[in-house]
């Protein structure tokens, strides 16, 4: 995956209304609750398999007998919790982003411009933090689902920024035809 695709995935995965549980024990107890229709021992085995630990270790995490773990294990547990945390809230926020609310983007990259007379300036670095409209958000997620390249996703972001920021919805720079976004140093998206 490319940087933009990773950040779109991160925005969708972290669009919850409450923070994930903070302690190791609370995170494990949450994961255990997600194993529905099985015994406690079967749930512990299933979680142990997901995080690469023994069933007994998972039970000790659950009972707060072990309160810390290696950073690698902590990262795996956090990723598992984030995948399962508030799926309905995340789905509603994603749906709102692609239908009405749009998506916030914070980007630092090299922007170049084309107008009827040719390139207006050499590309230069800018940092922009703007809300892209719902059509742009939908185009981004649809392109991501269709397997678009990093350059294609960057062009969708650039087109959204052209409409929102550079031409201010058509009130200025009417002759600006294309904005290109290259050499992205930083990009983050936020739903909601």
pLDDT tens-digit series, residues 92-104: 999 999 999 999 9
Question: 19-85 — its CATH code?
Answer: 1.10.260
Residue ranges covered by each domain of the chain: 19-85, 94-191
| pLDDT on residue 117 | 64
**Contact of 131 with 161, CB cutoff 8 Å:** no
Convert the pLDDT of each residue in 138-149 to its tens digit.
999 999 999 999
Q: Are 113 and 178 in contact (CB under 8 A)?
A: yes
Tokens of 110: 């090299």
What's the whole-model pTM score? 0.74
139/133 Cα distance (integer angstroms): 10
Determine what percent of the chain is predicted with pLDDT higher than 90.
Answer: 69
Return the closest-CA partner of residue 22 out of 63, 73, 71, 81. Answer: 81
Burial of 55 (0-12, 13-18, 19+ CB in 10 A): middle
Residue 181 scores a pLDDT above 80: yes
């Amino acid at each position: 995956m490319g940087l933009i695709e990773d950040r779109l995935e991160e925005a969708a995965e972290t669009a919850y209304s409450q923070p994930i549980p903070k302690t190791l024990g609370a995170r494990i107890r949450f994961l255990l609750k997600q194993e529905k229709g099985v015994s406690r021992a079967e749930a512990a085995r299933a979680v142990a398999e997901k995080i690469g630990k023994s069933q007994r270790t998972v039970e000790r995490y659950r009972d707060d007998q072990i309160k810390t773990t290696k950073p690698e294990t902590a990262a795996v547990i956090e990723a598992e919790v984030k995948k399962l945390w508030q799926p309905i809230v995340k789905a509603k926020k994603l749906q709102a982003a692609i239908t009405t609310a749009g998506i916030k983007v914070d980007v630092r990259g090299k922007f170049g411009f084309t107008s009827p007379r040719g390139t207006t300036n050499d590309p230069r670095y800018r940092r922009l933090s703007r809300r892209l409209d719902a059509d742009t958000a939908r185009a981004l997620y649809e392109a991501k689902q269709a397997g678009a390249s990093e350059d294609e996703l960057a062009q969708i972001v650039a087109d959204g920024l052209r409409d929102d920021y550079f031409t201010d919805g058509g009130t200025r720079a009417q002759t600006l035809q294309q904005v290109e976004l290259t050499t992205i140093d930083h990009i983050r998206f936020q739903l909601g």
